[in-house]
Chain A
Amino acid sequence: MHPTHTGRIAPIANLDLVAVVMEKLVNRQDSLPGLAVYYGPSGWGKTTATVAVANRSRAYYVQLRSAWSRKTLLEKILFEMGIKPGGTIPALLDQICEQLAASRRPLILDEFDYCADKHGMIELVRDIYEGSQSSLLLVGEEQLPHKLKRFERFHGRVLSWLPAAAVSLADSRQLAAIYCPDIPLADDLLQHLVALSHGSVRRVSVNLVNVYDTALVEGMDSVDLATWGQRPLYTGEAPRRHGSAA
């Protein structure tokens, strides 16, 4: 066990960005819109930032599925609120709006892409928003803002568009503290991991775990790019075939 690692999690750029916007949404003036859209490629730390926001504000978190109907969405939100569902769609909507307004806890809809090409679903989310005047965070892939553009009435209500940020060298240092604790890593190695990752927090993390395991097994006290040498790293691409393999 490593009793020393109760320190803070990597405050990666994404996390701060989203937390700041959420704070702004939750404490906004009544007349301002309270919708934010957080989008970016998978692996770019959206989940990490979302978890932090959810925990900080006790937000209701719902991950959408493609098969969901309007009614399913409402029922899932109520499930997350721990409320017995009331029956018809309008009754469910009333319950959700009332709970959001009264509790002042935000609602996070993850994988919102599933919603974004269905007119009825978009209207329903707008109803939730209008009915509660609560803070909503919609999370999705890169194409999400583009998809939402089709729905002008919805698009105009979004206060903040938050693109997920690519992982930086500073982020990688923070991540190293979690995934590769107690083994100092040189900046040239971290720089290399960041370059390989194409912006993905996840790939950097996977490689840090990889470096950590190798360092422990091979007894390295610190690792730089030269020590690491030609050992394989995860690039997110399918592995290349080895020439010598039979």
Chain B
Amino acid sequence: MKTPLPNRLPAQLEQRGGKSKRQRIWEIIRARQHDISAADLAKDSKVDSATIISYLRALEKGGYLHAHSPASRNGTGKRYRLMRDNGVEAPRLNKSGQPVSQGSGNETLWRTMRILGQFNSRELIQHAASAGIHIADDSANIYLRTLYRAGYLQLLEASRPLGVGKGKTLNRYRLLPGKYSGPRPPMIQRSKCVYDPNLARVVWQEDIRHDDD
């Protein structure tokens, strides 16, 4: 059992860019520290109560929150206090409170691009593998190609054939220095557009093909 956090006013940490519902909930939890209830969160965050309740459950199971007073018969829900601080980032948990790693592939690619400056997809995959993070060739290639089309990357060396049956070299890219928008990796969305969470906007959209083009 961990002891509650010390009684002090936390420095205000607010995430830059676009915020998920869970992020909005988390920031309010962090600011309040004690005596947190689903009803208060709903009022302050404007997030729907189903999301709030499922996130509170996950946080409790994950040991981030402790319910200090149980739900009572007169209709007031559980009240929680923050037990484990995670900093500004909302803990990414599944329903049973276990950390989820989904999305860590792109985060690793994005961080590695930023540190290396120049790279091809194989180098990025190898660097990720050395940290125990496995990324498929296709995912890396698609991510790079999309970032290139969205204007984040510059093509330094285009892929060239190596001879019959020898395959070809890989495209070599550079992350444009002004394009590092922040630590969160730009996301490719299902609708074939790129959303940059650091900037909180869609930065690129595939041209719409008309039938008569």
Contacts and interface: CB of A to CB of B under 8 A. Distances in A.
Interface of A: 1-3, 5-11, 15, 47-48, 50-56, 58, 60-61, 63, 79-84, 86, 91, 94-95, 97-100, 102-103, 105, 110, 178, 216-217, 219
Contacts of B191: none
Contacts of B128: 55
B70 interface: no
A55 B125 CA distance: 12
Interface residues of B, number: 44
Given A51-B115, A103-B86, A217-B163, A83 B13 contact: yes
B15 A9 contact: no
A50 B114 CA distance: 12
Q: Taking chain A's interface residues, is the majority helix, strand, or loop, or is none over half, making it mixed?
A: helix
Contacts of A81: 87-88, 183
Given A1-B167, A6-B137, A217-B163, A84 B15 contact: yes
A52 B130 contact: yes
26 contacts: A1-B137, A2-B167, A7-B129, A9-B126, A9-B127, A9-B130, A50-B115, A51-B111, A52-B130, A54-B115, A55-B133, A61-B115, A63-B115, A82-B15, A82-B17, A83-B15, A84-B16, A91-B11, A98-B10, A98-B13, A102-B86, A103-B88, A110-B115, A216-B162, A216-B163, A219-B163
Contact of B88 (A8, A47, A51, A83): A83
Given A54-B111, A86-B11, A79 B166 contact: no
Given A8-B130, A82-B17, A2 B122 contact: yes
A60 B10 CA distance: 21
B136 A15 contact: no
Nearest to A11: B130
Contacts of B88: 81-83, 99, 102-103
Nearest to A98: B11
B198 interface: yes
Given A54-B111, A79-B182, A80-B183, A98 B137 contact: no
Contacts of B15: 82-84
